[in-house]
Copies of this chain bind each other. A is one copy, B any other.
Amino acid sequence: MTGVLRDPRPGALPHGTAVPHGTTRRGGAPNLGPRAAAGNRAALLAAAREIFGSGGTDAPLSAVAKRAGVGQGSLYRHFPDRLDLVVAVFEEQVVAVEELAATPDADLADLLGLVTRNAVDSVGFVDLVRSRVPADERIVALGERVAAALGTRLAGATGSGDVPAGTTSDDLLLAVAMMAGGLSQAEGEDRVRRARRAWELLGLEVRIPDAA
């Protein structure tokens, strides 16, 4: 059943008394025009990072919008579905890992350390690694980029004996997921401690950078 010639508020009132539907401007934030777009996107990302970091990736999107100081609609414009936002948030971290991998003097311990720092800092990271649906391809793609970055140091690490021969980059990704699993339910300082112990149990050396 579809509306007809669309009553602005279909069916609300028998007829007449149209109340403007999406009318804005009532003390809220001003419409800053297109110029705000980039800023809003960044604000949304920052807000999502915080909210997902502390509440996990299934926190209400409305909370993200509110935290960003942005209307719900803007959130949806920038990130049409929740996963778009999640991916965007974590992509920043992936990019950081890739950048580090581009640095000649970073070794596997550094790369894993950076990944670990991200996991320690963000509850949402675990979600990444744990959604039970068959894993959206965007998430998978992110994982593959991490695996690739880690893989660039695999030969070196194997050669130096830091990593057992036969270790694949998939194994490294699995190890990361395991480390993340080990963080579950831990809070505060305990998270770093657990992460360290997890890597010890895995027999891998990592150098976790200090929190930003």
Residues of A within 8 A of B (CB): 1-7, 10-12, 14-16, 51, 54-60, 63, 82-83, 86, 123, 126-136, 139, 171, 174-175, 177-182, 184-185, 187, 194, 197-198, 201-203
A145 nearest CB across to chain B (Å): 16
A209 nearest CB across to chain B (Å): 22
Question: Which residues of chain B have C-beta atoms less than 8 A from A197's C-beta?
Answer: 171, 174
Question: Which residues of chain B have C-beta atoms less than 8 A from A131's C-beta?
Answer: 1-2, 4-5, 184-185
- Evaluate contact between A130 and B184: CB separation under 8 angstroms: yes
Interface centre among A4, A55, A126 (most CB of B within 10 A): A4
Closest 3 CB pairs of A and B: A181-B181, A11-B59, A11-B55
- Evaluate contact between B58 and A11: CB separation under 8 angstroms: yes
- CA of A56 to CA of B1, assembled, Å: 9
- CA of A132 to CA of B177, assembled, Å: 16
- Evaluate contact between A174 and B198: CB separation under 8 angstroms: yes
- Evaluate contact between B184 and A177: CB separation under 8 angstroms: yes
Question: Which residues of chain B have C-beta atoms less than 8 A from A177's C-beta?
Answer: 181-182, 184
**Nearest CB in chain B to that of A179: its residue:** B178
Query: Could you say which of B59, B134, B171, B185 contacts A201, with CB atoms under 8 Å apart?
Result: B171
